A = this chain, B = another copy of it.
Amino acid sequence: MTNTTRAWHLKSRPQGTPTMDNFELKDAPLGELQDGWIRVENKWLSVDPYMRGRMNDVKSYVPPFQVGEPMQGGAVGKVVESRSPDFAEGETVFHLQGWREGAAGPADQFNKVPPLPVEDFHWLGNLGLTGATAYFGLLRAAQAKAGDTVFVSAAAGAVGSAVVQIAKAMGMNVIGSAGGAEKVAWVRELGADEAIDYKAEPIVPALIKAAPKGIDVYFDNVGGEHLDAAFAAARQNARFAICGMIEGYNGAPPHGFKYIMRVIAARIMMKGFIYTDYLPEMADFYRDMGGWVSSGKVTSRETVRDGIEAMPEAFLDLFRGANMGKMLVRL
A14 within 8 A of B: no
Q: Residue of B at shortest CB range from A269? A: B271
A245 to chain B, nearest CB (A): 5
A306 within 8 A of B: no
Q: Which of B268, B271, B273 contacts A272 (CB 8 A)?
A: B268
A105 within 8 A of B: no
A38 within 8 A of B: no
Residues of B within 8 A of A331 (CB): none
Q: A248 and B272 in contact (CB under 8 A), knowing A255-B256, A256-B254, A267-B277?
A: no
Residues of B within 8 A of A106 (CB): none
A271 to chain B, nearest CB (A): 5
8 Å CB interface, A203-255 against B:
223, 242-245, 248, 253-255
Q: How many copies are assembled?
A: 2
Q: Residue of B at shortest CB range from A256? A: B254
Q: A272 and B277 in contact (CB under 8 A), knowing A223-B260, A253-B256, A260-B254?
A: no
Residues of B within 8 A of A61 (CB): 264-265
A274 within 8 A of B: yes
A33 within 8 A of B: no
In the complex, how many residues of chain A place their beta carbon closer than 8 angstroms to a beta carbon of chain B?
Answer: 31
Interface residues of chain A: helix, strand, loop or mixed (majority): loop
A242 and B257 CA atoms in complex are apart in Å by 15
Q: A267 and B273 in contact (CB under 8 A), knowing A254-B256, A256-B253?
A: yes
Residues of B within 8 A of A139 (CB): none
Q: A245 and B267 in contact (CB under 8 A), knowing A254-B257, A255-B256?
A: no
A318 within 8 A of B: no
Q: Residue of B at shortest CB range from A257? A: B254
Q: What would 17 more interface pairs be, CB under 8 Å, given A60-B265, A266-B272, A268-B272?
A: A53-B265, A223-B260, A223-B261, A243-B264, A245-B261, A253-B256, A254-B256, A254-B258, A254-B260, A255-B257, A257-B257, A262-B272, A263-B272, A267-B272, A267-B273, A268-B271, A269-B271
A-B contact pairs, 26 of them (CB 8 A): A60-B265, A61-B264, A61-B265, A223-B260, A242-B263, A242-B264, A245-B260, A245-B261, A248-B260, A248-B261, A253-B256, A254-B256, A254-B258, A257-B257, A262-B272, A263-B270, A263-B272, A267-B272, A267-B277, A268-B271, A268-B272, A269-B269, A269-B270, A269-B271, A269-B272, A270-B270
